[in-house]
């Protein structure tokens, strides 16, 4: 039986491939979904990838994960830097939660250097493009994310 994992994506991530490819790469959102689900299958994980531009929906998905003790990989997008509602929902986690970023926030604008999510996450993987998601999934499968 596969272990369920939610891969949650915040605002603008559905525009991967067309949105600032010099920053976020050329892989489309569909490509991200395919890469995550394929690796998940190899690792014995049942990966479900979701994306929303709605902060409330992302919070509801974190509640769903907490209620079901489902591990999460999350790219909160811009919500990373200011959404205390999202931070409080992530803090309710009952399974590992790994924050991911495609780019390296610390190599970008000053406002991106702060993550309100990081303090309540098991860990953060950033700066490796789509590979950040794959590293996070491997950490969950290997049990190296608390």
CATH number at residue 65: 3.40.50.9100
- The answer to whether 113 is a known ligand-binding residue is no
Check: CB of residue 40 under 8 Å from CB of residue 137: yes
Range of the domain at 26: 3-142
Residue 48: strand pairing partners: 6
Residue 117, pLDDT score = 95
pLDDT for residue 18: 53
* Verdict on whether the full-model pTM lies above 0.85: yes
Q: Where are the alpha helices (DSSP H) in the chain?
A: 21-24, 29-43, 55-68, 84-91, 131-142
Q: Is the pLDDT of residue 57 over 90?
A: yes
* pLDDT tens-digit series, residues 5-29: 999 999 878 766 655 555 555 567 8
Q: How deeply is 16 buried, as exposed, middle or buried, from its count of CB atoms within 10 A (0-12, 13-18, 19+)?
A: buried
Q: Verify whether residue 63 is a known catalytic residue.
A: no
Query: Is 93 one of the annotated binding-site residues?
Result: no
Tens digits of per-residue pLDDT, 87-145?
999 999 999 999 999 888 776 667 666 899 999 999 999 999 999 999 999 999 998 77
Find out whether 75 is annotated in a ligand binding site: yes
Q: For this structure, is 24 an active site residue?
A: yes
CA 40 to chain centre: 14
Q: Which of 24, 29, 63, 106 is catalytic?
A: 24
Interatomic CA distance for residues 58 and 99, integer angstroms: 13
Residue 3 in tokens? 């272990």
């Amino acid at each position: 039986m596969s272990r369920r994992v939610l891969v949650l994506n915040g605002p603008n991530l559905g525009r991967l491939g067309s949105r600032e490819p010099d920053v976020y790469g050329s892989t489309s959102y569909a490509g991200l979904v395919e890469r995550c689900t394929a690796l998940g299958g190899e690792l014995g994980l049942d990966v479900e990838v979701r994306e929303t531009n709605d902060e409330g929906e992302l919070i509801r998905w974190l509640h769903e994960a907490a209620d079901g003790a489902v591990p999460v990989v999350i790219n909160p997008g811009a919500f990373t830097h200011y959404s205390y509602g999202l931070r409080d929902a992530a803090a309710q986690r009952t399974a590992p939660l790994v924050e991911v970023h495609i780019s390296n926030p610390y190599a970008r604008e000053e406002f991106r250097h702060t993550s309100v999510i990081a303090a309540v996450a098991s860990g953060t993987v950033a700066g490796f493009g789509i590979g950040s998601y794959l590293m996070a999934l491997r950490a969950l499968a290997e049990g190296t994310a608390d």
